[in-house]
């Protein structure tokens, strides 16, 4: 079991949704928090509440689509409290466009934010984490990382890639006391659909019906903190849509037919 109280925890995508709710859950444990997101003003508001809840909290604003400075960002994060015990790679951006309609720059931005940024952060943090005796890396994937989904080609690809990379990391560094926890949400009531990218890179700018009917970010956060505490390999978060994960696993041909009929919103 991973003790959380007193630990240093870095959360990306911490200004709203799952990241924000998890920050509040962690703050109540008396932790040292590092919060990263693009919007500085929103981060300051989250920092203020986390401090009131009992955390020692710092912010590191950064646009993770700019991966050139990721090594510097991660180095700054480690310097804030001397070490990072739990790394929650939560930041991500979704998509609402067919594959052939999607501009190359949109494909690239989704992969930069969702895949290359967390990989670069992890590769910077891991040596120090290992030297410090180990730690936990939690990664937000998605049920779209389990099966292809209409209007999500690059988003699904980025989430599939996260499984491949971080499963390998756990296999290679398990004996160094590195544990990976895959956080796999289905529908959670956040702004992810609002911020999703259309074919030309503009924001989708609406809360999809499926997203609106999802579980709350607070409920998701409670499950996430529990999964990190118990160092579960994976936690599925959501409602009835999670059934598709099991259908894909045991009845892949049936799953393919069902996916083709899904109303992609």
Instruction: Cite the beta strand spans of the chain per DSSP E.
Output: 8-12, 32-36, 56-59, 86-89, 135-140, 178-185, 188-189, 215-216, 234-237
CA atoms within 13 Å, Cβ hemisphere of 225: 23
H-type alpha helices, 104-250? 104-111, 117-131, 153-173, 192-195, 209-212, 217-229, 243-250
Active site residue 24: no
Pick left, alpha or beta for residue 159 (phi over 0 → left; psi -120 to 50 → alpha; otherwise beta).
alpha
Q: Can you tell me whether residue 91 is helix, strand or coil?
A: coil
Backbone angles phi, psi at 140, to 5 degrees: -80, 115
Separation of alpha carbons 202 and 33, rounded Å: 32
Q: Which two tokens stand for residue 226?
A: 């529990």
Q: Which residues of 190-199 are buried (b: 16+ CB within 10 A; e: fewer)?
A: bebbebbbbb
Active-site choice (155, 163, 173, 194): 155
Q: Which residues are catalytic?
A: 155
């Amino acid at each position: 079991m991973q003790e959380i109280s007193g630990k240093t925890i870095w959360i990306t995508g911490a200004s709203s949704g799952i990241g924000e709710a998890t920050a509040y859950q962690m703050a109540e444990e008396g932790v040292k928090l590092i919060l990263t997101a693009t919007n500085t003003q929103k981060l300051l508001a989250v920092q203020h509440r986390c401090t009131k809840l009992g955390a020692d909290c710092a912010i590191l604003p950064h646009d993770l689509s700019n991966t050139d400075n990721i090594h510097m960002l991660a180095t700054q994060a480690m310097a804030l409290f001397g070490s990072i015990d739990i790394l929650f790679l939560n930041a991500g951006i979704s998509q609402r466009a067919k594959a052939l309609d999607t501009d190359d720059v949109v494909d690239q931005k989704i992969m930069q934010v969702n895949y290359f940024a967390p990989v670069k952060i992890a590769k910077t943090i891991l040596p120090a984490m290992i030297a410090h005796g180990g730690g936990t890396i939690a990664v937000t994937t998605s049920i779209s990382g389990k099966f292809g989904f209409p209007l999500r080609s690059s988003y699904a690809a980025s989430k599939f890639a996260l499984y491949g990379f971080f499963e390998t990391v756990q296999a290679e560094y398990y004996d160094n006391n590195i544990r990976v926890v895959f956080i796999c949400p289905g529908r959670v009531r956040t702004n992810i659909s609002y911020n999703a990218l259309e074919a030309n890179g503009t924001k989708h700018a609406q809360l999809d019906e499926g997203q609106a009917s999802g579980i709350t970010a607070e409920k998701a956060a409670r499950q996430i903190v529990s999964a990190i505490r118990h160092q579960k390999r994976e936690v599925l978060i959501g409602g009835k849509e999670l059934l598709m994960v099991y259908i894909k696993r045991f009845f892949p041909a049936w799953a393919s037919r069902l996916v083709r009929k899904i109303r992609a919103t």
